[in-house]
A and B are shown apart, each in its own frame.
Chain A
């Protein structure tokens, strides 16, 4: 198994103390695809906060299959507070979600910008406060 590195494409990755950082390589590939300092034009992504990986869920959750990651803070700001009030947070969240949609193995892409599953709009409650990314 692989672990999410402390830096992805120059972006610092901070983990919640409860995180078990153990994932399938394809999930890391997905993060490498959408986590970049210049992901949003005019804004710099310096740090993401991962609130859950292989933890805090029960089987058969994709988290417990090591195929899902939750991101809850951008550049130190909680998404739940910064979206949509903070322009940089909003632009970066929108860009991350949009970019993840171009990753071939994407499955769930839920966040404040949109909710898509297997590339199609998907109705779910919640997820206006963090990004949940999962892979097949």
Chain B
């Protein structure tokens, strides 16, 4: 009897460790803030605009209703931290589902902007915090780093 009790205890510990490890490895299993959960579920689409030569998101107004009640400071932190989140969202570009990070960046860029400057005081030509919905994982990570710096310095400007 004591032997079976020990075996059961061991089994429980192993199951707990496996569950925790699975949770840590799977971003989808992590609990998301209500804002991120709402952004994940938007049925949006990036549509090519010929005149502007760029993709335009067709659910910007819906994003506004999701993010506008939030405290801007808290919201900026949540969105900047989410930029490299690879969890699939329901939004698409050319029929392909986009990562939640792309939608977080969309929401962030509807909330605030940042103007990097060069040594003369003019606007810098390139800043890694500006990305397209077609950005790859490396670009998303670089954008996250750039925005986290901006958020930490509170140097963003709200629209």
Residues of A in contact with B (beta carbons under 8 Å apart): 16, 18, 51-52, 56-65, 70, 72-73, 78-81, 84-85, 107-108, 110, 112, 117, 122-130, 132, 134
**7 interchain pairs, CB-CB under 8 A:** A51-B159, A60-B119, A63-B115, A70-B115, A79-B159, A80-B159, A129-B110
Residues of B in contact with A (beta carbons under 8 Å apart): 49, 51-52, 54, 56, 60-61, 64, 109-110, 113-115, 117, 119-127, 130, 155-159
The answer to whether B158 touches A16, judged by C-beta atoms less than 8 angstroms apart, is yes
> Which residue of chain A has its CB nearest to the CB of B153?
A58
The answer to whether A125 touches B157, judged by C-beta atoms less than 8 angstroms apart, is no
The answer to whether B52 touches A112, judged by C-beta atoms less than 8 angstroms apart, is yes
Give the shortest distance, in Å, between B20 (CB) and chain A (any CB).
Answer: 41
Give the shortest distance, in Å, between A104 (CB) and chain B (any CB).
Answer: 18
The answer to whether B123 touches A132, judged by C-beta atoms less than 8 angstroms apart, is yes
Kindly identify which residue among B51, B52, B123, B159 contacts A73, using a CB–CB cutoff of 8 Å. Answer: B159
A108-B122, A125-B126, A126-B130 known; A84+B159 contact, CB < 8 A: no
On chain B, the residues within 8 Å of A117 by CB distance are: 122
Kindly identify which residue among B60, B113, B117, B122 contacts A130, using a CB–CB cutoff of 8 Å. Answer: B113
The answer to whether A61 touches B49, judged by C-beta atoms less than 8 angstroms apart, is no
- Bound CA–CA A110/B115 (angstroms): 11
On chain A, the residues within 8 Å of B113 by CB distance are: 72, 126, 129-130
Specify the main secondary structure of chain B where it touches its partner.
Answer: loop
- Bound CA–CA A124/B118 (angstroms): 12
The answer to whether B122 touches A56, judged by C-beta atoms less than 8 angstroms apart, is no
Kindly identify which residue among B52, B125, B127 contacts A84, using a CB–CB cutoff of 8 Å. Answer: B52
- Bound CA–CA A130/B158 (angstroms): 11
A61-B117, A125-B130 known; A80+B155 contact, CB < 8 A: no
The answer to whether B109 touches A65, judged by C-beta atoms less than 8 angstroms apart, is no
The 4 closest A-B pairs by CB, nearest first: A125-B130, A60-B121, A61-B117, A126-B130
- Bound CA–CA A64/B127 (angstroms): 20
The answer to whether B157 touches A70, judged by C-beta atoms less than 8 angstroms apart, is yes
On chain B, the residues within 8 Å of A52 by CB distance are: 115, 157
The answer to whether A62 touches B121, judged by C-beta atoms less than 8 angstroms apart, is yes
- Bound CA–CA A129/B129 (angstroms): 14
The answer to whether A81 touches B61, judged by C-beta atoms less than 8 angstroms apart, is yes
Give the shortest distance, in Å, between A9 (CB) and chain B (any CB).
Answer: 23
The answer to whether A65 touches B127, judged by C-beta atoms less than 8 angstroms apart, is no
Give the shortest distance, in Å, between A14 (CB) and chain B (any CB).
Answer: 12
On chain B, the residues within 8 Å of A124 by CB distance are: 123-126
- Bound CA–CA A72/B60 (angstroms): 16
- Bound CA–CA A125/B119 (angstroms): 17
The answer to whether B115 touches A61, judged by C-beta atoms less than 8 angstroms apart, is yes
On chain A, the residues within 8 Å of B109 by CB distance are: 80, 129
